[in-house]
Amino acid sequence: MLKVLREYFKGKKILILGFGVEGQSTYRLLRKLFPDDILHIADVNEDLRNNPIVVNNIQKLDVQFGRNYLKDIGSYDLVIKAPGISLKSIEGADFSRFTSHTELFIRLFKNQIIGITGTKGKSTTTSLIYHIYKTFNNNTLLVGNIGIPPFDLLDSIDNNTVIVYELSSHQLEQIHVSPHIAVLLNLYEEHLDHYLTFERYIQAKLNIVSCQQSNDVFIYNDDDERINKVLTQYSLRSKILKFSLQHSVDRGCYLKANKVYFHDGERHEVFDRDRLSNLIGDHNLLNTMAAVCACLISGIPADSITAAVDSFEPLEHRIEYVGNFGDVIYYNDSISTIPEATIAAVKSLKIVDTLILGGYDRGISYDILLDFIGTSEVKNLVFIGQAGNRMMEIYKSKNISGKNSCCFSNFDDAVLYAKNITTKGKICLLSPAAASYGMFRNFAERGAKYKQLVRS
């Protein structure tokens, strides 16, 4: 594959646009292919001048960091754009010269890739598919948005390697190739700070299937009204499998009488819902059904899938049990950055007394969340940050009664207050329905801080 890449890149003036995790991985690949060439890097972050890669290789680099990082973008034959760079910031550029780490990798290994996307549930579903495959076939890799740039694992890939690839909307944006097996979990309002419109976000997500051919497989959530509506705009060529909690499907997974079935010409019982003791909530049952579809269609036996599901350990920060302290039960759901995810967490846990909400405000609607809370058993609302301020304004405008509410600018103070007001025997839940920016680097740092505070 290195030979194929070397020929593709040869003779081109290439810009690595964005020098985060994927950009640095792309650099390592290009440096391996062209050890003596001058490589070009651009990023808005001035601090990257001190990155060890830059410092140690400055004689073989042309770098453009800071506010004017885009000024020469038209002078390159090929721009390899990182997912964190919004197209909003580079409107007017010749996008025919753009590619990405993701697109290049999928072009190389398309027929070996199971790609998973969706607004929520990507990491859980991706990890579960990987876990099932790994117990059946050791020649399996986990890559993508979950934190592992695929080019870093090129030396581990042969013609029989199965590649389980978590794909964000940012990674799918502007790709012109789709994985062999594509999974779409759901579509909710998200990332409005990155896209000009919600429609563009949806278009990016649908790139996971838009270039599939008749020998490919598309698996999607048939309970998601938005997915069904948007799919009417596409002429799908791939074999389609669906999964549903609400009704049976001709091909795919569905729930009936508390049992999960797979139907593809014949109906097979896969497992009883009660087996999912580690993956609570309807949303996790849907994630599991998506994984079952992807694995059964690939030929993994049902009993192997069931055994692997039984042994799967849920990921951190996703309705994660933190502990029982002072007879108050604590859960960390820091991954929930949209209202629908928070609603799912509250429904799954059932006895939530205190809910910690808020963070960075990306302008999404919170009406659905506050309407739900108004009719829920949640008694205490602890709001934080810009999003928390806006949620509290909406909460007050709805004249919701029977709840306690308070807004904080400091996360530590908010958690301490939540600990003090939660009814014994009930749950204090961090499920913010907002991003963590401003207070934390990411949702994982926020969740870790929450766990530290409640355990102290």
> Looking at the structure, do residues 166 and 295 belong to the same domain, yes or no?
yes
pLDDT (tens digit, 9 = 90+) per residue, 313-359? 989 999 999 999 999 999 999 999 999 999 999 999 999 999 999 99
Same-domain status, 140 and 242: yes
Of 87, 126, 50, 103, which Cα lies nearest the Cα of 288? Answer: 126
Token pair 């933190």 is found at 322
297 and 354 belong to one structural domain? no
How many structural domains does the chain have? 3
**Domain match, 46 and 119 both:** no
Would you place residue 194 in the very low, low, confident or very high pLDDT band (cuts 50, 70, 90)? Answer: low
Domain C-terminal end among 99, 125, 158: 99
Long-range contacts of 256-260 (CB under 8 A, 24+ apart): 260/285, 260/288, 260/289, 260/292
390 and 278 both lie in a single domain: no
User: How much of the chain, in percent, has pLDDT values that exceed 90?
Assistant: 85
Could you tell me the CATH number of the domain that includes residue 397?
3.90.190.20
Domain boundary among 249, 277, 311: 311
Determine the Cα–Cα distance for residues 177 and 365; give it in Å rounded to an integer. Answer: 32
Two structure tokens written together for 275: 């087996």
Supply the range of the domain harboring residue 260.
108-311
Dihedral sign from CA coordinates of 445, 150, 105, 312 = negative
CB–CB of 384/354 below 8 Å?
no
Give the pLDDT band of residue 192 (cuts 50, 70, 90). Answer: low
**Same domain assignment for residues 268 and 162:** yes
Is the pLDDT reported for residue 278 higher than 90? no
What confidence score (pLDDT) does residue 186 get? 97
Position 190 scores a pLDDT of: 73
Judged against a pLDDT cut of 90, whether residue 85 lies above it is answered with no
> Are residue 362 and residue 444 in the same domain, yes or no?
yes
62, 119: one domain = no
Q: Give the mean model confidence (pLDDT) for residues 405-433.
A: 97
Strand segments, DSSP code E, in 181-250 are 181-184, 217-221, 239-244
Residue at which a domain ends, from 268, 287, 311: 311
Q: Stretch 264-270: mean pLDDT, rounded?
A: 89
